[in-house]
Structure 1
Amino acid sequence: MKRAHQLTAFAIAAVLVLGGAYQLTRQPAEAAVAKPAARAAMAVSVTGVSQVGWSRQISASGSVAPWQEAVIAAETGGLRIVKVAADVGDVVKRGQTLVALSRDSVLASEAQQRALVDQARAALAEAKGNADRARKVSGSGALSAQQVQQYLVAEQSAKANLAATQAALKSEQIRLGQTRITAPDDGIISRRSATLGSVVQSGTELFGMVRQGRLEWRAELSAEQLAAVAPGQGAQLRLADGSTVTGTVRMIAPTLNADSRKALVYVDLPAGSAARAGMFASGEILTGEARATVLPAAAVILRDGHSYVFEVSAEGGVTQHRVDTGRRRGAQVEVLTALADDARIVASGGAFLNDGDLVRVEAASEAAPEATPEAAR
């Protein structure tokens, strides 16, 4: 019995010794397993926050129309067109002949009127001679006072007749000049209704012309938007072919349309642009300049319908910030949420990061982004 108790005590002591040795060897292993390995650092490039001057703008749309359109019409009637010297799209100069009318009947009328002028001039010469003789003998009794008065009146009547015939001759000469219909200004022919051989009537439109080839964009703005617009401001149009045209605000309409409650802003467009009258275009009116906080567009990550940026700490960890964005210019975007001036923002690779990840910053990426020429406008 005593021996059995000794064996039992010996077994218990052996178990305790073996258990202690097992614990001593297990603790370092468990410690190694319990401490997770740090996630491998990802190489990223960083950028700083930039403050640049960006232009404020108002979006608008409207039609492109001629600055002024001239109507070229016949000033005399009953004459036949014998020559048409211009067509749609032609660039014409002031005074250039566009249409020639038949001159035969007008030349005949002018010749007849010249003959009448010669007759009136001869009649005046005779009447003047008689009046001069009557003046010399007036009071001598050779002619009665009534006869003297008749000669003087005849002289005045002959003068008036000559003036009337000269005026009629001038009218025929003007009508002769009207047989050559000329351009009233430099411009581009926009439409033509003149047809060779047709007989025109006074006031018949023959051509339409865009004066000086100038076009304008008639942008429609609301009353609230008008407060920020002034003559001399710049504007940019986007045409249907994707090209852009730069213009200048010339005038603001003094009244608003009663139906649409919008006013027209007239924007002068440069000559030779791709814009054409009748086009509908959208664009922006540049109303000034304001400071903007910008980042490269690649630094702003879109997740779950929201925009985020990742800021890198001094220890290499990243912190996710939700931000609101505004205008975009090329490869840059405006950030409306306040960020620290010295914040280091992940410029690329942010789509693969999560809040709290460790990163390795590339040494060549520490510089702040430079403002693009477009952004610095």
Structure 2
Amino acid sequence: MYFKQIFRLLLCALFLTACQDQQNNNEQTTHSLMKVNVVPVQTIDWARTVSLSGNVVAKEDVAISTALQGLQVLEVKVDVGDWVEKGQVLAVLEQSNVQSQVMQNEANLNRAKANLTAQQATLNEAEATLKRYQQLAKSEAISRMEVDQQKAKTQTAKASVQAVQAEIAQIQAQLTDNKHQRKKAQVVATVSGVVTKRTVEAGALTGSSALFNIAQNGELEIQAEVGADELKLLSVGLNSTIIADNAPLASGQIRLISPEMDSTSRLSKIRIRLNEPLKTAIGRYVQANIQLPVRQVKTSLPFTAISFDNNGKAFAKLVDLQGKVQNRPLEIGAIYQGMIEVLSGVEIGELAVQQAGAFVDEGDIVEPVNTANKGNK
């Protein structure tokens, strides 16, 4: 009986020793595994921004020119930056030739009117004489020949009056044209707004090019250039923040997307309407940051977790539940703020080695450390 108890105690001691050795071996195995930071495949919302280079321009740029070419500019009344009202005189052209024609035609008109008065008096006299002759002819006091002669004189007087009236109409038409040409010698604003450009100086001769440019109603907006890749992402109404000299300048929305693309630069143009009036120089360089609609990306990884093989194919080092590393081929999409869209190859919740350049190879057993859980603690 005594020996049986001793034997049982020895068996218990051996069992406890074996268990302790197994626990020590497990702890030693665990401590010997390499700890590797991993990140989960996750769904994220992308609020992307497209940044474009642009300039401040007039919303409606109105060119002011003159139909009179080769005339000397006598006076320029406005300068760049001035506010002008519709109909305001901007410049005065030399008009001595036109003025002399106006004066000459006015004199001709006065002479013709005086001649008309005289011819009308002759006609009135001839008609009165004809009536008297016709009465006398009834009593045979005068001959029929004398009556016919007076009729002829009356018709001649009527023709003279009509000729003078036609002359007066012609002179009046010439005078109207002269005055119109004289009015053209004053270059006037066709709209109200701010003068943005002036290409004329006193003493210069007028040509076919515009003398002034006016921003109608003083409204300014942004014109930006956009490439084909960004163009397909944009739509009218998207919000934009305007940056100048590294500071916010204004905000607005896309008003117009040009359907035309430059054949050389392969760039198109967009116009951004501003939410508030902008007081700055035309042509000022700005940056337009356009907020694209939020897009949900179902599966994504940090770009640092992506590797590329010799053929340029993307893959990631995934770690399974047993800590085993596996190289997984991926199909990737867009990149945004350090994250990359994974179109195929992974599932939500799978773990990938955070740094693709980590010293782990396919088949290695590692201890994964989820950095996402670290950040939540």
Q: Normalization by structure 1: what TM-score?
A: 0.59
SS in 1 for 2:168: helix
CA change 1:58–1:30 in 2 (3 A) is: closer
What fraction of aligned residue pairs are identical, expressed as a percent? 15
Q: What residue is the counterpart of 2:211 in the other structure? A: 206
Q: What residue is the counterpart of 2:86 in the other structure? A: 94
Greater CA deviation, 61-70 or 97-106? 61-70
For this pair of structures, how many residues does the alignment match? 328
Consecutive unaligned residues of structure 1, counting only runs of 5 or more, are 1-22, 367-377
Q: What residue is the counterpart of 1:326 in the other structure? A: 333
Tell me whether 1:34 sits opposite 2:25 in the alignment: yes
Kindly report the root-mean-square deviation, in angstroms, between the aligned alpha carbons of the 2 structures: 5.7
Tell me whether 1:72 sits opposite 2:75 in the alignment: no
1:181 shift after superposition:
0.9
Q: What residue is the counterpart of 1:184 in the other structure? A: 190
1:335 shift after superposition:
3.5
| CA displacement 1:129-188 (0-9 Å, x = unmatched) | 433454563793174443222111111111111112222222232233223212233555
* Alignment match of 2:201 (pick from 171, 195, 212): 195
* Alignment match of 1:50 (pick from 16, 22, 43): 43
1:84 shift after superposition:
1.7
SS in 1 for 2:120: helix
1:326 shift after superposition:
3.2
Q: Aligned partner of 1:249: which letter?
A: L
Q: What residue is the counterpart of 2:179 in the other structure? A: 173
Tell me whether 1:248 sits opposite 2:258 in the alignment: no
1:36 shift after superposition:
3.2
Q: What residue is the counterpart of 1:301 in the other structure? A: 304
CA change 1:134–1:290 in 2 (3 A) is: farther
Whether the aligned pair in 1 keeps the contact of 2:237 and 2:253 (CA below 8 Å) is no
Give the Cα separation in 2 of the matches to 1:110 and 1:332. 78
Q: What residue is the counterpart of 1:357 in the other structure? A: 368
Whether the aligned pair in 2 keeps the contact of 1:98 and 1:182 (CA below 8 Å) is yes
Give the Cα separation in 2 of the matches to 1:41 and 1:229. 44
CA change 1:249–1:326 in 2 (3 A) is: farther
Tell me whether 1:150 sits opposite 2:156 in the alignment: yes
Q: Aligned partner of 1:96: which letter?
A: Q
CA change 1:326–1:241 in 2 (3 A) is: farther
Whether the aligned pair in 2 keeps the contact of 1:307 and 1:325 (CA below 8 Å) is no
Give the Cα separation in 2 of the matches to 1:49 and 1:75. 68
Give the Cα separation in 1 of the matches to 2:170 and 2:87. 30
Q: What residue is the counterpart of 2:140 in the other structure? A: none
Give the Cα separation in 2 of the matches to 1:277 and 1:96. 25
Q: Aligned partner of 1:292: which letter?
A: V
Q: 1:71-150 to 2 correspondence within 5 Å? A: 71-76=63-68, 80-90=72-82, 92-102=84-94, 106-107=98-99, 109-135=101-127, 137=130, 140=134, 141=147, 143-150=149-156
Q: What residue is the counterpart of 1:7 in the other structure? A: none
Q: Aligned partner of 2:42: which letter?
A: V
Whether the aligned pair in 2 keeps the contact of 1:71 and 1:205 (CA below 8 Å) is yes
Give the Cα separation in 2 of the matches to 1:148 and 1:68. 65
Whether the aligned pair in 1 keeps the contact of 2:57 and 2:220 (CA below 8 Å) is no
Whether the aligned pair in 2 keeps the contact of 1:51 and 1:293 (CA below 8 Å) is yes
Q: Aligned partner of 1:336: which letter?
A: L
Whether the aligned pair in 1 keeps the contact of 2:85 and 2:191 (CA below 8 Å) is yes
Whether the aligned pair in 2 keeps the contact of 1:50 and 1:294 (CA below 8 Å) is yes
SS in 2 for 1:270: strand
Whether the aligned pair in 1 keeps the contact of 2:199 and 2:210 (CA below 8 Å) is yes
Give the Cα separation in 2 of the matches to 1:99 and 1:61. 36
Give the Cα separation in 1 of the matches to 2:34 and 2:204. 90
Give the Cα separation in 2 of the matches to 1:215 and 1:26. 82
Q: Aligned partner of 1:248: which letter?
A: R
SS in 2 for 1:171: helix
Whether the aligned pair in 1 keeps the contact of 2:43 and 2:298 (CA below 8 Å) is yes
Q: What residue is the counterpart of 1:159 in the other structure? A: 165
CA change 1:205–1:363 in 2 (3 A) is: closer
Q: 1:11-30 to 2 correspondence within 5 Å? A: 30=21
CA change 1:209–1:34 in 2 (3 A) is: same
CA change 1:321–1:108 in 2 (3 A) is: same
Q: What residue is the counterpart of 2:8 in the other structure? A: none
CA change 1:280–1:292 in 2 (3 A) is: same
Consecutive unaligned residues of structure 2, counting only runs of 5 or more, are 1-13, 135-146, 309-313, 361-365
SS in 2 for 1:156: helix
Give the Cα separation in 2 of the matches to 1:24 and 1:194. 108
